[in-house]
Structure 1
């Protein structure tokens, strides 16, 4: 898409404004920070909920994704799932939803996701993604229990070229309902990110849809993080529709499922502990859906690989 034509931040701003309007119904809290930034607490001191998480997730995708909670009749133990769809999956997932912006200051740390990233373009990923968003306001999603401190707000304002009072931060911890939903909604995004790591041409990915079970939140951070990751790694299903050589589609399907990783086969919380909390020591091939379908739309071939791992879901999700 042409620069500015996806309206990622404009779309997300409309979603955020709707959340502000419906704050009482969504059980979220809205306030202004010291620099005039808008703060939306969707699950920290405010209880939030599933609907707040769904809207956070759609804001994270810059309004280019559709996310809903659906019944999964194939599963007796985890009968509800998140369904994610996008007809602009590269922009929605990698250009917006991916949590790739490292925002840290003293003892504050958060990874920023959402369309403000496409204004700031400070990540290496944007050497591959050529799209530049244009907007008069920006939205950023933070997976944390605390609002961003002033130095982080100033950093985001400088990087996006906007005044602080034009920024909206939505935040919720992993342990919350909203946090759980918005993290599991990345099931399509992890497939796109892995496809990029595998050097599959992103311009050949033209559509995508995905689903993953909604785990129960857990008050312990490590357990909550484990459940949200395992919902995707052992329970996620993704279908990508691609153009280009059919052999490339087949090769992508071969390499995309999580079970190709050397670290596959343990609950994520155990893996994280084994590597002493170092995300970068974990095999990056693990961060992908359990089951994939890659459809070569020019030939009609569909390649199915991987599968849901019910035993691992039982160990992790309970």
Structure 2
């Protein structure tokens, strides 16, 4: 006689590479209209240029951002020309699987480097983001997450201004355990529109990473939504990188849902970027002042400007931080707009 209350079957772990395949296919199938140039290595690995030699574009950037989130997030563009908007266009992100989407996939944590001797010319360095990270599992973070993906195809996104040399492609293939024709590498320089979009789309991921740094258990976070203004890209690499960071640090707004009141209260107070000693200057200026060394910058700076944190335990919501509109407009417009006061 069967039990009237059968136990639910245990679900197989989600595969960020399998779930992102539809977005990879959309990028490749529509490359021409998206401003993306495709090439293949002799062994069949696809290299998708979304801003190095090809123009790239906002639509391409949205697809790349969805790839980066392992198919577990929605990423869209919102335009607002109402009275005194923070900025005319913004990127909006949501995920119901924030830990997997943001930390196991989207986070740019895989360091890939080659010397000029290895490349036969110029040294190469890039941080890899996207679902293929979870196949390689080279970062200590995956041990903490207790997650590894197992899939026969993978995609990796590189934020760099040149296509990767073969030695880097071979390393990715080996570490991921993929056949050459089962790997797609997307390249999105920050000075391109696509690159700007995919970096700004990390607004929720930045909040998840700061949550981890603050020591809050990651399984506390069950939902994540956010938005950040989409700045104009700059032809200067440092300035372009600065603008994308400023968009999140001074204009990013995130709403997290967590399990318990204690976590919600802590995050509302400690998560916003204004807690950092380095807060208040444009990121490019901060980066330059530390001799271009990210590791000298106060880690507390890497966070959204404003947060709302709702608790399932009580149904209450706590709020912290605020956007710094004048700093953004001074950097992107060249002048402060007095009709856009800071919302601190």
TM-score (norm 2): 0.89
CA distance in 1, matches of 2:211, 2:300: 10
Contact 1:139/1:168 (<8 A) preserved: yes
CA distance in 1, matches of 2:312, 2:37: 45
CA distance in 2, matches of 1:192, 1:295: 15
Task: Name the residue aligned to 1:78.
Answer: 87
Task: Name the residue aligned to 2:133.
Answer: 117
Shift of 1:168: 0.4
CA-atom RMSD in angstroms: 1.3
1:61 aligned to which of 61, 69, 76: 69
Matches within 5 A, 1:95-114: 95-106=104-115, 107-114=123-130
* Residue deviations 1:71-115 (CA, integer Å, cap 9, x gap): 344743611100000000110000000000000101101100000
2:96 aligned to which of 83, 87, 97: 87
1:301 aligned to which of 302, 316, 329: 316
CA distance in 2, matches of 1:130, 1:108: 30
Residue 46 of structure 2 corresponds to residue 38 of structure 1: yes
1:154 aligned to which of 153, 164, 170: 170
Shift of 1:163: 1.8
Shift of 1:44: 1.3
* CA separation of 1:118 and 1:49: change in aligned 2, threshold 3 A: same
Larger radius of gyration: 2
Shift of 1:198: 0.6
Q: Secondary structure at the match of 1:128?
A: helix
Shift of 1:35: 3.3
CA distance in 2, matches of 1:266, 1:34: 47
Task: Name the residue aligned to 1:48.
Answer: 56
Residue 298 of structure 2 corresponds to residue 289 of structure 1: no
Contact 2:86/2:325 (<8 A) preserved: no
* CA separation of 1:74 and 1:118: change in aligned 2, threshold 3 A: farther
Q: Secondary structure at the match of 2:300?
A: helix
Residue 314 of structure 2 corresponds to residue 272 of structure 1: no
CA distance in 1, matches of 2:175, 2:184: 14
- Unaligned regions of 5+ residues in structure 2, if any? 1-9, 116-122, 334-344
Residue 268 of structure 2 corresponds to residue 258 of structure 1: no
CA distance in 2, matches of 1:316, 1:288: 19
CA distance in 1, matches of 2:300, 2:13: 32
Matches within 5 A, 1:226-241: 226-241=242-257
Shift of 1:3: 8.8
Higher mean alpha-carbon deviation, 200-209 vs 155-164, is at: 155-164
- Unaligned regions of 5+ residues in structure 1, if any? none
* Residue deviations 1:117-146 (CA, integer Å, cap 9, x gap): 111111011121112211111100000121
* Residue deviations 1:23-73 (CA, integer Å, cap 9, x gap): 111111111024321111111111110000000000000000000001344
Q: Secondary structure at the match of 2:92?
A: strand
2:209 aligned to which of 168, 171, 193: 193
Contact 2:70/2:106 (<8 A) preserved: yes
Residue 181 of structure 2 corresponds to residue 165 of structure 1: yes
TM-score (norm 1): 0.96
Aligned residues: 316
Residue 260 of structure 2 corresponds to residue 214 of structure 1: no
